[in-house]
A and B are shown apart, each in its own frame.
Chain A
Amino acid sequence: MKYIKDMLFCLSSAYGAINVRQARDIAFNEMKKYCECQKNDENMSFCGFLKGTSDYTLMLDAHIDEVSFVVTNVDDEGFVTVANAGGIDIKTLPAKMVLIHGKEKIKGVFVSTPPHISSGEIEYDDLSKIKIDTCLGARAKELILVGDTVTYSAEPKELSGNKVVGKSFDDRAGIAVLLELAKRLSGKELPINVVFSVVDGEELGMRGAIPATFKISPDEAIAVDVTFATAPDVTENDGGCLSKGAMIGISPVLDRDMTDKLNKTASDNGIPYQNEVMGRRTGTDSDVISVSGKGVRTGLISIPLRNMHTDCEIVDLTDIKSTCDIIEKYILSGGMLDVQ
């Protein structure tokens, strides 16, 4: 599990958002050690290829982008207004430190209005009301351009047991799964081709997976993402349990036979897993993958995660490992190659 943790921490500290390719480049250089890779600079994605003994192709998808912000205004006093790029809970932002990717990397702090200013309860419904203090005064305009990206800025840390906290585990945890699988499967005889598809733009409406899937045109696909983990205000109806294994998705948009085989693979091999049942779209890349081209049989495995879209996301490394274990066994058994 050391490799998974090292990769997760390295990717979590890196940045991957609009026009910010650091995380993508780290993942690319790592994946290159295990398979042939191809970068696509048009949409910041890349693919890795492992050749199998058949011409049947399974695509594994995970997204490299993180929730972020984009600068919409810089004022003369050095306060920056931003719009969200991905779902952000505004009330968690006051006094939070972020990183502005301008001409230089600039640390800024979301303003927190002191109590004597506000009369009564503040409503956190408008991000443009909570500006970022760059501490730069008029110089901010020279260094920051409207359209620049702003990301969280936080280093990952260990918690109790095998749990870890950090930013962007959504979906660097999924990227860590793809890297671990590339490492495990590299050089092995595989019954099917495996394409690792690392895509951008999931947080902005799964826009990276659409062209990537179209180009790869796989026979089947598994998206690897994160989902809500239970906590005092999150019941088991809303999420899965941290530490109790990968969550195999069940949803009308997912292929039922594939889901069944993923479940069977996990239970036959004694790998911890849970099911996440959704009555509609899944909110992951699998939604767009399944309807790509002539249609792709698609499965979804999600890693339970707390505090989603904050810089305090929590995952359990053992859940990432069980995700890898299930997919590895599934690939080695040929995926859906022989299941019509």
Chain B
Amino acid sequence: MFSNLKSLCELNATSGDEKSVRDFIIEQIKDYCEIKTDNLGNLICFKKGKKTPQKKIMLDAHMDEIGFIIKSITPDGFLRFSNVGGIDTSVMIARRVLIENKVYGVVGFKPVHLAGAEERKKLPNAESLYIDIGASSKQEAESIVSLGDRAVICSEYCETDEKIISKALDDRIGCAILIDIIRNFDEYDFYAVFSTREEIGAGGAKTATFSINPDSAIVLESTTAADIADVPKEKQVCVLGNGVAVSFMDRMTVYDREYYEFALNSGIKCQPKSAVAGGNNSGVVHLSRGGVKTIALSVPCRYIHSANSVADKRDILSARQLAEFMLKGIAEGKV
């Protein structure tokens, strides 16, 4: 699972441009389940198990990651861009980016020595930022990039005994877990969705859920962990190493209470996501058609939506274990 996670994180796939991740996943699962790609690029998979459960169960993980899209080129050959997904300015300025896997650039901004005392302490306006690919003119830049090209912030995948540091852990962790479940779980039938466009409003999961029409859904995600220096305990949301985070409510979803309690009482190491913040595919999944009972299992991630997110391998394993526990529990009618 962890070698897949590395390969997945090293692929670049901003929202709406998930092909590289989709192709990789297809290679990993094509011998284990039926697969189809829908109109929005979602991978919709059906894994036949030994038994067919009463309820139709869907697992979801999203393939896309945050990044940038090139909007225009200045006369001097600098690229103006827009975020794809939410990215804090502080984690993008003075970073290298890779555009369409072919050209490197740097997110430039006003240098500190030219800023006034007050301006110096503050982040520049997102609109004033640009990507510098070293082109000296618009013409030179146009020969290398096209409008609409995608960029990601460069990152180096690092693994220690316990932790993983990388870009795109949100949500390649979910993808790696879901691949592993497809390859190894065969007790009950289930559907798996590798969805697109989560970071720009969960469009992929919306249509995929409509197509599958499930009774229950398990959303595999990662979520922000603020267990960092100087943040008080009550604001930490979740803590690395304490197991996968189980949501009761976020800004898009009020989660199914039964599923929430069933997960917390599973005996598998997990923690409540102790903040009502953020959102994920559950927001559209639980409102699909006549409503879907939904649980979100999120691996705690420090510095999420940056080039160097940090996750704990033990939490990833706990997410894998709890996902299977929920799948089995729902299939067996225990919850």
Report the stretch among B39-47, B172-180, B260-268, B300-308 that lies at the interface.
Answer: B300-308
**Nearest chain A residue, comparing its CB with the CB of B78:** A232
| A136 contact set on B, CB distance < 8 A | 160
Min C-beta distance of A134 to chain B, whole Å: 9
Q: Does chain B have a CB within 8 A of A121? A: yes
Given contacts A232-B74, A316-B134, 19 further A-B contacts (CB under 8 A): A94-B306, A96-B95, A107-B158, A107-B165, A109-B303, A109-B308, A112-B88, A116-B237, A117-B226, A124-B90, A131-B228, A135-B165, A136-B160, A161-B136, A161-B140, A228-B113, A232-B78, A232-B108, A233-B108
Instruction: From the candidates A95, A116, A137, A238, name the one contacting B224 in the complex (CB within 8 A).
Output: A116
Count of chain A residues near B, Cβ 8 A: 59
Q: Which of A85-124 contact B (CB under 8 A)?
A: 87, 89-97, 107, 109, 111-117, 121-124
Contact surface of A with B, Cβ cutoff 8 Å: 75, 77, 79, 87, 89-97, 107, 109, 111-117, 121-125, 129, 131, 133, 135-137, 154, 157-161, 163-165, 228, 231-234, 238, 242-243, 306-312, 314, 316
Set of chain B residues within 8 Å of A234, measured between Cβ atoms: 110-111, 114
- Which residue of chain B lies nearest to A79 when distances are taken between CB atoms in the complex? B229
Q: Mark B70-106, 1 if CB is under 8 A from A, else 0.
A: 0000101110000000001011011110000001111
| Complex partner residue of A312 from B96, B120, B123, CB under 8 angstroms | B96
Q: What chain A residues lie within 8 Å of B76 (beta carbons)?
A: 232
Partner of B235, one of A91, A116, A123, A238: A116
Contacting pair A124 B123 (CB below 8 A)? yes
Contacts of A122 on B, CB cut-off 8 Å? 90, 123
Cross-interface CB contact of B96 among A89, A115, A154, A309, cutoff 8 Å: A154
Alpha-carbon distance between A310 and B304 when the two chains are bound, in angstroms: 22
Interface string of B148-191 (1 = CB under 8 A from A): 00000001101010110100000000000000000000000000
Q: Does A160 contact B133, Cβ atoms closer than 8 Å?
A: yes
Asked if A117 contacts B96 (CB within 8 A), the reply is: no
A238 touches B114 (CB 8 A): yes
**B residues within 8 Å of A by Cβ?**
74, 76-78, 88, 90-91, 93-96, 103-114, 120-123, 128, 130, 132-136, 140-141, 144, 155-156, 158, 160, 162-163, 165, 224, 226, 228-231, 235, 237, 275, 277, 302-304, 306-308, 310
The DSSP consensus for interface residues of chain A is: loop
Q: Is the CB of A124 within 8 A of B140?
A: no
